[in-house]
């Protein structure tokens, strides 16, 4: 094989570029006749460094299919094997995915297939764990103290880690870099603009790195992020800087100084080797953004050119989808390798962005210690992830969110309650930052515009501004391929490390200043990286239980120590202590609510018919107590249901964030809502499964106990209903009687009136006649007429008093019963009337003057002249009450 050399047109000061994705094998190197290859081979042998890592080169242009198929004879895949390269022996027990074309069937398909293409493999067959990691794939250096500290820090960093790497130079340097204070400042003598703050003040960053060795660079800026990715967080590391400032040297390195990518790969395997409890599925992809087109660098050149990668989705916090994008499974760092051509490297290397990414999926190993222990387990996916292996699996993108329906291969599945963690490690070599020039500058300086870089600057600027000023300005992610692809990461859900490489030369002051300003801005971007985990409900509950146990133990320990400790503690510390204990209690209560532990399962063993209950129910209680319990439980159930409904309603009614809201807020909202929904589901399920049954049991007991009493009560009620009906009938009759009485009253009034008109009554002064309503009854004839009327009414059927009595014997008050009130000194009228008719007429109080009434020509049995009647006013007139009523 001939290793393509750097094109003759390249700058003499620049060594050939390298890529980490196209590792160089010993065999390929030995076939090269150049002396440099020999010395490299010798160096590799000496250091024991696996050749693939030491020989990575930056890849900027797709290699031709011929050059790929010619060179490789090794048997195992390394990173992503070049399609068509027979790099791995067939695993006899691995079934071929249905529909996968065989190479021997159609040689033309060879370049388009790869055995390690994730869509062609069963993930369970290509898992990596501590037993399968080969010693050569692991970096020897393990810094235990650092590892412990790093483990504590994962997920806590909420800011982008920004480091400056100063490229060594023989020329005079314009910058004063101080690694001990992590600051850098322009030498005032080189400031072209002494009024500019950027050129006069000092910049501070997380670290200032100098020198050539790449190991300290990896340890300082990348190792924690690689570990975070292994722990389940998305991580992005990218290099930003002007052309030739050392981005590729930092990320890829060279033979002597492997960069971040090869070191990260070794670290990944070292991590797996140190983690006997988990098993991993590692998938890699590699793409390039050039001139706002995305090229899949692992796809065969012909198909890559014909099918540029498209970005879909990504709006409103949704997933970014890259399609078509090939992913290759990585099981080892050794094996068949290939060398890439660098035909037009000089033309495009500094103008393209290359993105190497690794999807890391992991889950706990089976309890027996080997990953195949539970192979007979049915794989159980979380509901949202349930999918037939080999079909339509999604492929996360560089930001950890991308999903490619129908294109990615099968994913690791939840198995036997073991949840799956997914994260993406993205390592990005950006184009030269001086390409981020505006149109105006471009036309002025004739520079090539790089939309992605330009947009990256404005996205970072807006994000930083939003974070600093608590704004929600629109972030223009969609203005470029790079920012759109990185949207999930840049909007916060990733740990980000940026290495800004600078050229300290005097003639690069303005570019370096602009790089430092970019670095300063990105430092302010807020992050909130979160682990992505697919969990089964049972696992979640089990996890809550464990946490409760743990918390209870801690609480008990604290309580036991409390008397002794409190003597030693200050007042303030005691307050803190009691707050801590309260917090522990609160958390225990929260978790208990979530899982509704089944405490009475064991108690109910003797009575199989009685369901177990999460609520303690004492069946020796009296029926009344049981009923109370039942009511309380029902109320509780109702209030919980109401709570659930109101939470659901609140969830539904939650106003969608404005489209201008920052993407990180949208992501956060979605995550919170997802969490709430999961918790509600658990609560609802808990109530349905645990509380419903015992309530039914309690109800049965109570119903049995109260059945007889209930029957008696029902009979009583029926009797009362019957009596009420009777009463209604009586009332109807009374109403009729009342009508009759009214008629009688009218007849009486008519009679009296006639009586008076015949001149049989008193002669009253004309002026007062109209005030009489009606005219006074006159004794004698009127009473006889009245008696006749009474007799007539009696013939109609008077209401007997017995008929008006209720079931208890008491007579209901009759609206027709009239009071006879007669006060005064002239009882003549009544005396003349039959006694039985008194009860039917009521008179208001009558006050008659002492003067003797003038009877006039009224024939009466009374002796002596009566004084004439005087009208004393309406209220003193005799008016039958029935009339007034
Ligand atoms: N820290 C360093 N120590 C030694 N040599 C370095 C260092 N940084 C960069 N170089 C060398 O400088 C040259 C340019 O570096 P490199 O190719 O990494 O630049 P770059 O920023 O990736 O450029 P481009 O944007 O064009 O891709 C290379 O020859 C590289 O080996």
Which residues is 239 bridged to in the sheet? 429, 499
Residue 315 lies in a domain: yes
Summarize pLDDT for 348-401 with one digit per residue, the tens. Answer: 567 789 999 888 988 887 654 444 444 444 443 333 332 222 223 333 444 333
Summarize pLDDT for 866-880 with one digit per residue, the tens. Answer: 444 444 444 444 444
User: Can you tell me the mean pLDDT for 546-553?
Assistant: 81
For residues 591 and 672, membership in a common domain is answered with yes
Residue 198 scores a pLDDT above 70: no
Q: Which residues contact 481 (CB under 8 A, 6 or more apart)?
A: 289, 292, 293, 294, 311, 451, 452
In angstroms, rounded to a whole number, what is the distance separating the alpha carbons of residues 583 and 643? Answer: 23
Q: Is 243 annotated as a binding residue?
A: yes
Least confident segment among 114-128, 217-231, 558-572: 114-128
Cβ proximity of 147 and 481 under 8 Å = no
Strand ranges for 448-522 from DSSP E = 495-502
Q: How many CA atoms are closer than 13 Å to the CA of 470, on its beta-carbon side? A: 0
Residue 248 Cα to ligand 1 middle (Å): 6
Domain end point (choices 488, 523, 558): 523
The DSSP 8-state label assigned to residue 84 in this structure reads T
Domain end point (choices 661, 696, 731): 696
For residues 470 and 547, membership in a common domain is answered with no
Residue 705 lies in a domain: no
Phi and psi at 327, nearest 5°, equal -125, 140
> Which of 12-26, 275-289, 318-332 has the highest mean predicted lDDT (pLDDT)?
275-289
Which atom number of ligand 1 is nearest to the Cα of residue 212? 3
Q: pLDDT-based confidence at 599, cuts 50/70/90? A: very low
Q: Whose CA is nearest to atom 28 of ligand 1?
A: 14
Predicted local confidence at residue 850, as pLDDT: 47
Strand 183-186 with 175-178, pairing? antiparallel
In angstroms, rounded to a whole number, what is the distance separating the alpha carbons of residues 611 and 601? Answer: 8
Residue 249 Cα to ligand 1 middle (Å): 5
Q: How far is CA 792 from CA 153, 670, 747, in A?
A: 110, 91, 12
Predicted local confidence at residue 231, as pLDDT: 87
Which atom number of ligand 1 is nearest to the Cα of residue 349? 27
Residue 825 scores a pLDDT above 60: no
For residues 398 and 437, membership in a common domain is answered with yes
Residue 188 scores a pLDDT above 80: yes
Least confident segment among 149-163, 534-548, 667-681, 855-869: 855-869
Residue 85 lies in a domain: no
Kindly report the CATH number assigned to the domain that includes residue 248: 3.40.850.10
Least confident segment among 28-32, 199-203, 237-241: 28-32
In angstroms, rounded to a whole number, what is the distance separating the alpha carbons of residues 668 and 678? Answer: 15
Residue 47 lies in a domain: no
Nearest alpha-carbon partner for 320 in 421, 400, 424, 237? 400
Q: pLDDT-based confidence at 469, cuts 50/70/90? A: confident
Q: Which residues contact 608 (CB under 8 A, 6 or more apart)?
A: none
Predicted local confidence at residue 769, as pLDDT: 47
In angstroms, rounded to a whole number, what is the distance separating the alpha carbons of residues 793 and 816? Answer: 14
Choosing from 7, 221, 244 the residue with most ligand 1 atoms within 8 A of its CB, the one to mutate for a pocket test is: 244
User: Can you tell me the mean pLDDT for 399-424?
Assistant: 57
Predicted local confidence at residue 547, as pLDDT: 79
Q: pLDDT-based confidence at 700, cuts 50/70/90? A: confident
Residue 148 scores a pLDDT above 50: yes
In angstroms, rounded to a whole number, what is the distance separating the alpha carbons of residues 203 and 177? Answer: 10
Output the ligand 1 site: residues, CB below 6 A: 14-15, 17, 167-168, 212, 241, 243-249, 349-350, 432, 501
Q: Residue 682 CB: number of other CB atoms within 10 A?
A: 18
Residue 572 scores a pLDDT above 60: yes
For residues 544 and 408, membership in a common domain is answered with no
Q: Give the residue, 233 or 606, on which the prediction is more confident.
A: 233
Choosing from 248, 428, 512 the residue with most ligand 1 atoms within 8 A of its CB, the one to mutate for a pocket test is: 248
SS3 string of 342-355?
CCCHHHHHHHCEEE
Which atom number of ligand 1 is nearest to the Cα of residue 241? 21
Residue 91 lies in a domain: no
Residue 185 Cα to ligand 1 middle (Å): 22
For residues 519 and 542, membership in a common domain is answered with no
Which atom number of ligand 1 is nearest to the Cα of residue 165? 1
Q: How far is CA 818 from CA 452, 748, 792, 796, in A?
A: 104, 16, 20, 20
In angstroms, rounded to a whole number, what is the distance separating the alpha carbons of residues 580 and 574? Answer: 10
Which atom number of ligand 1 is nearest to the Cα of residue 431? 25
Q: Whose CA is nearest to atom 31 of ligand 1?
A: 249
Predicted local confidence at residue 570, as pLDDT: 75
User: Can you tell me the mean pLDDT for 10-22?
Assistant: 35
For residues 410 and 454, membership in a common domain is answered with yes
Nearest alpha-carbon partner for 270 in 223, 238, 222? 223
Q: Whose CA is nearest to atom 11 of ligand 1?
A: 246
Q: Over the chain, what is the mean pLDDT?
A: 66
For residues 683 and 778, membership in a common domain is answered with no
For residues 839 and 872, membership in a common domain is answered with yes
Residue 502 Cα to ligand 1 middle (Å): 10
For the chain, percent of residues with pLDDT exceeding 70: 51
Q: Which two tokens stand for residue 65?
A: 């299919």
Q: Is 244 annotated as a binding residue?
A: yes
Predicted local confidence at residue 145, as pLDDT: 63
Residue 247 Cα to ligand 1 middle (Å): 6
Which atom number of ligand 1 is nearest to the Cα of residue 15? 29
Domain end point (choices 496, 523, 550): 523
Nearest alpha-carbon partner for 117 in 173, 77, 153? 77
Residue 333 Cα to ligand 1 middle (Å): 25
Residue 199 scores a pLDDT above 70: no
Q: Whose CA is nearest to atom 8 of ligand 1?
A: 246
Predicted local confidence at residue 326, as pLDDT: 84
Summarize pLDDT for 624-638 with one digit per residue, the tens. Answer: 666 666 777 777 787
From first CA to last CA, the distance across the chain in angstroms is: 127
Residue 872 lies in a domain: yes
Residue 462 Cα to ligand 1 middle (Å): 30
For residues 143 and 192, membership in a common domain is answered with yes
How deeply is 690 buried, as exposed, middle or buried, from its count of CB atoms within 10 A (0-12, 13-18, 19+)?
buried
User: Can you tell me the mean pLDDT for 548-556?
Assistant: 81
For residues 516 and 568, membership in a common domain is answered with no
Give me the number of domains the chain comprises: 3
Cβ proximity of 182 and 226 under 8 Å = no
Residue 568 scores a pLDDT above 60: yes
Q: Give the residue, 35 or 137, on which the prediction is more confident.
A: 137
Residue 99 scores a pLDDT above 70: no
For residues 156 and 280, membership in a common domain is answered with yes
Summarize pLDDT for 207-255 with one digit per residue, the tens. Answer: 999 999 999 999 999 998 999 899 888 889 999 999 889 999 999 998 8
Q: Is 791 annotated as a binding residue?
A: no
Q: Whose CA is nearest to atom 3 of ligand 1?
A: 212
Least confident segment among 79-93, 144-158, 677-691, 799-813: 79-93
For residues 686 and 758, membership in a common domain is answered with no
Residue 450 Cα to ligand 1 middle (Å): 20
Residue 105 lies in a domain: no
Interface confidence, given as ipTM, is 0.98
Region at 406 (left for phi over 0; alpha for psi -120 to 50; beta for the rest): left
Q: How many CA atoms are closer than 13 Å to the CA of 293, on its beta-carbon side? A: 10
Least confident segment among 165-174, 263-272, 293-302: 293-302
Choosing from 164, 240, 245, 249 the residue with most ligand 1 atoms within 8 A of its CB, the one to mutate for a pocket test is: 249
Least confident segment among 486-500, 529-543, 755-769, 807-821: 807-821
Q: Is 248 annotated as a binding residue?
A: yes
Residue 61 Cα to ligand 1 middle (Å): 18
**Whole domain around residue 613: which residue ranges?**
538-696
In angstroms, rounded to a whole number, what is the distance separating the alpha carbons of residues 150 and 225? Answer: 9
Residue 650 lies in a domain: yes
Residue 345 scores a pLDDT above 50: no
Summarize pLDDT for 758-775 with one digit per residue, the tens. Answer: 776 555 555 444 444 555
Which residues is 159 bridged to in the sheet? 526
Q: Which residues contact 675 (CB under 8 A, 6 or more apart)?
A: none
User: Can you tell me the mean pLDDT for 93-102?
Assistant: 35
């Amino acid at each position: 094989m001939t290793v393509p050399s750097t094109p003759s047109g390249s700058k003499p000061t620049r060594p050939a570029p390298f890529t980490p994705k196209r590792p160089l094998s010993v065999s390929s190197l030995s076939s090269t006749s150049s002396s440099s290859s020999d010395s490299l081979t010798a160096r590799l042998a000496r250091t024991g460094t696996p050749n693939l890592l030491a020989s990575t080169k930056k890849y900027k242009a797709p290699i031709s299919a011929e050059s790929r198929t010619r060179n490789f004879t090794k048997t195992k895949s390394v990173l992503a094997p070049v399609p068509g390269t027979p790099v791995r022996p067939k695993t006899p027990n691995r079934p071929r995915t249905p529909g996968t074309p065989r190479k021997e069937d159609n040689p033309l398909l060879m370049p388009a297939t790869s055995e390690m293409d994730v869509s062609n493999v069963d993930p369970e067959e290509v898992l990596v764990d501590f037993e399968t990691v080969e010693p050569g794939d692991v970096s020897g250096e393990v810094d235990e103290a650092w590892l412990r500290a790093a483990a504590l820090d994962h997920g806590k960093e909420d800011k982008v880690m920004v480091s400056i790497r100063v490229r060594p130079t023989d020329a005079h340097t314009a910058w004063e870099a101080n690694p001990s204070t992590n600051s850098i400042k322009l030498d005032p003598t080189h400031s072209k603009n002494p009024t500019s703050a950027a050129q006069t003040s000092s910049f501070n960053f997380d670290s200032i790195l100098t020198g050539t060795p790449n190991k300290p660079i990896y340890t300082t800026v990348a190792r924690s992020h690689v570990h975070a990715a292994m722990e389940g967080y998305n991580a992005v590391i990218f290099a930003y800087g002007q052309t030739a400032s050392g981005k590729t040297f930092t990320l890829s390195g060279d033979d002597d100084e492997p960069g971040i990518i090869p070191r990260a790969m070794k670290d990944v395997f070292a991590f797996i080797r140190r983690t006997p409890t988990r098993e991993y599925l590692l998938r890699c992809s590699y793409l390039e953004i050039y001139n706002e087109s995305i090229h899949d660098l692992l796809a065969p050149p012909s198909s890559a050119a014909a099918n540029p990668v498209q970005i879909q989705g990504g709006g409103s916090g949704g997933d970014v989808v890259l399609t078509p994008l090939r992913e290759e499974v990585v099981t080892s760092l050794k094996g068949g390798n290939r060398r890439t051509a660098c035909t037009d490297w000089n033309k495009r290397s500094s103008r393209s962005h290359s993105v190497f990414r690794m999807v890391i999926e992991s889950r706990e190993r089976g309890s027996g210690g080997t990953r195949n222990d539970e192979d007979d387990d049915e794989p159980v996916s979380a509901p949202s992830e349930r999918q037939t292996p080999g079909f339509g699996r999604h492929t996360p993108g560089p930001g950890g969110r991308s999903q490619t329906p129908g294109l990615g291969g099968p994913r690791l599945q939840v198995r036997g309650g073991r949840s799956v963690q997914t994260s993406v490690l993205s390592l990005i070599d950006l184009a030269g930052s001086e390409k981020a020039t505006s149109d105006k500058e471009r036309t002025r300086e004739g520079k090539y515009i790089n939309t992605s870089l330009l947009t990256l600057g404005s996205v970072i600027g807006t994000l930083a501004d939003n974070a600093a000023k608590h704004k929600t300005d629109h972030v223009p992610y969609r203005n470029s391929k790079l920012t759109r692809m990185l949207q999930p990461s840049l909007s916060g859900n990733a740990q980000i490390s940026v290495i800004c490489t600078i050229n300290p030369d005097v003639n690069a002051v303005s570019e370096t200043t602009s790089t430092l300003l970019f670095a300063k801005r990105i430092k302010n971007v807020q992050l909130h990286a979160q682990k992505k985990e697919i969990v089964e409900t049972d696992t979640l509950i089990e996890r809550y239980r464990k946490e409760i146990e743990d918390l209870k133990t801690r609480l008990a320990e604290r309580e036991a120590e409390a008397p002794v400790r409190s003597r030693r503690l200050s007042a303030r510390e005691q307050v803190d202590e009691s707050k801590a204990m309260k917090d522990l209690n609160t958390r225990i209560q929260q978790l208990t609510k979530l899982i509704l532990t089944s405490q009475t399962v064991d108690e109910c063993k003797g009575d199989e018919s009685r369901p177990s209950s999460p609520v303690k129910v004492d069946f020796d209680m009296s029926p009344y107590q049981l009923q109370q319990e039942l009511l309380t439980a029902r109320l509780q159930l109702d209030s919980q249901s109401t709570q659930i409904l109101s939470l659901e309603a609140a969830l539904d009614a939650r106003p969608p964030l404005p489209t201008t809201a920052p993407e990180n807020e949208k992501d956060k909202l979605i995550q919170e809502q997802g969490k709430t929904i999961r918790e509600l589901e658990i609560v609802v399920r808990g109530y349905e499964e645990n509380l419903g049954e015992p309530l039914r049991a309690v109800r049965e007991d109570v119903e049995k106990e109260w059945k007889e009493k209930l029957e008696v009560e029902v009979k009583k009620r029926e009797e009362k209903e019957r009596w009420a009906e009777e009463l209604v009938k009586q009332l109807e009759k009374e109403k009729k009687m009342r009508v009759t009485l009214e008629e009688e009253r009218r007849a009486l009034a008519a009679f009296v009136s006639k009586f008076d008109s015949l001149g049989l009554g008193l002669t009253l002064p004309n002026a007062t006649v109209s005030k009489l309503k009606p005219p006074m009854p006159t004794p004698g004839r009127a009473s006889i007429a009245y008696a006749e009327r009474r007799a007539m009414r009696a013939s109609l059927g008077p209401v007997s008093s017995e008929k008006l009595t209720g079931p208890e014997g008491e007579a209901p008050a009759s609206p027709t019963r009239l009071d006879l009130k007669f006060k005064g000194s002239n009882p003549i009228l009544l005396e003349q009337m039959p006694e039985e008719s008194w009860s039917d007429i009521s008179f208001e109080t009558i006050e008659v003057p002492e003067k003797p009434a003038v009877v006039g020509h009224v024939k009466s049995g009374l002796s002596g002249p009566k004084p004439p009647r005087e009208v004393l006013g309406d209220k003193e007139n005799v008016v039958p009450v029935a009339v007034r009523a």
